[in-house]
Structure 1
Amino acid sequence: MTKKLLFIVVGVLLLPLNAAWAETDMQIQEKALKSRELNKLGAMDHSGHAGSGEAAGKYRGVFYGYLPCKEENCNGIKMTLSLNPKNNYLLVIQPAKPQNRESFEKGKYEWSEATGTVLLTSNKEAPQRRLAIKDEGTLLYLNNGGKPVPGDQDRYLLQRSDKANNREMHIH
């Protein structure tokens, strides 16, 4: 009995030492601002974690877009598409409306320069998604039939973060 009690007491005392310390939004914003300033001054060296090849840059990355929304009380849909190594993807969809709920989709992707498309195949039973390749830093979201959505095509673009300069990929 005393061994169990000693084990519990030691466990309780060590518990605070294993706590994960997350940075606050303010701390992350401060780091991002410092990083931008250093980058503007040319004081950052990115050669240590640059891509290993030309093709790796084309096929991987995080693409952001703000697409139109047809639902009532919805101002748009924020989409974040991460194309990862081994042809895995993560798609995060967040409608800009009251009581919004993020949805996540994981699966495999195929990047075909021959057809000029990226095909997303979900791990769940969901329809495949297609995006047209405008260039290595820009994708155009297509409808279910693989055709451009009617209307202004610029409203359906997803920009790779390092090409659009709209997000920090990493912070030093």
Structure 2
Amino acid sequence: MKRSNRIFARCLALMAISAALQLSPAARAETDMQIQEKALRAREQSQLGDGMDHSAHGASRTAGRFRGVFYGYLPCQEKDCDGIKMTLSLNAKNNYLLVIQPAKPLNRESFEKGKYQWDDNEGILLLAPNREAPQRRLAIKDESTLLYLTGDGRHLSGEQDRYLLRRSDQADHREVHIH
């Protein structure tokens, strides 16, 4: 009798858990991009304090406060490399984080941190790394698109659309298929 009571109690508990799971809404996991964007918007709102959406302003009017996460898939010149996945994060204190991942066998992500500054007159974003490494330059096409340039600010050879980094809220998607 005790055994049948225990089996009945377990079945009853299992049915209760099943019913609770069916009634609760399905859990939806956010992507890392959505979480980063949500955190960035919350940080901006808390720093600005005015509750206004400033995303509609042009790059020249907000260049000193421009920030966001930019993604791109650039051509690669190395052997057995299909491209380079770049993620550039610009924050409110003019700090940046650049993550570079070549699409090749035995690839390793590299990280670069430093300060960035805008040159409104030239329409250039200058990345100055913390460690001894060359500065990087990107042309400001608009508030959501940057064009990767050579270290001295010239356009790279080939089709320029292949060197674009787009802000995450404007990019089609950030997933890249890498072999």
Q: Could you tell me the TM-score, scaled by structure 2's length?
A: 0.64
1:135 to 136, 139, 142: 142
Residues in 2 aligned to 1:57 and 1:161: alpha-carbon distance in whole angstroms:
19
User: How many residues align structurally?
Assistant: 127
CA RMSD of aligned residues (A): 2.6
Residues 1:98 and 2:105 aligned together: yes
How far does the alpha carbon of each residue in 1:79-98 deviate from its partner, in whole angstroms, 9 at most, with x for none?
00000111000000000000
For structure 2, which runs of at least 5 residues remain unmatched after alignment? 1-26, 35-40, 55-61, 175-179
Deviation at 1:32, TM superposition (A): 3.2
Conserved? CA contact 1:58–1:136, under 8 Å = no
Q: Percent identity?
A: 64
Conserved? CA contact 2:63–2:118, under 8 Å = no
How far does the alpha carbon of each residue in 1:79-138 deviate from its partner, in whole angstroms, 9 at most, with x for none?
000001110000000000000011000000002222101000000000000000000000
Residues 1:119 and 2:117 aligned together: no
Deviation at 1:163, TM superposition (A): 1.8
Residues in 1 aligned to 2:63 and 2:29: alpha-carbon distance in whole angstroms:
27
Residues in 2 aligned to 1:58 and 1:155: alpha-carbon distance in whole angstroms:
26
Residues 1:32 and 2:30 aligned together: yes
Deviation at 1:166, TM superposition (A): 2.3
Residues in 1 aligned to 2:171 and 2:137: alpha-carbon distance in whole angstroms:
21
What amino acid maps onto 2:30 in structure 1? A
Conserved? CA contact 2:69–2:90, under 8 Å = yes
Conserved? CA contact 1:78–1:93, under 8 Å = yes
Which of structures 1 and 2 has the bigger CA Rg?
2
1:78 to 68, 85, 89: 85
Deviation at 1:148, TM superposition (A): 0.7
Secondary structure of the structure 1 residue equivalent to 2:158: coil
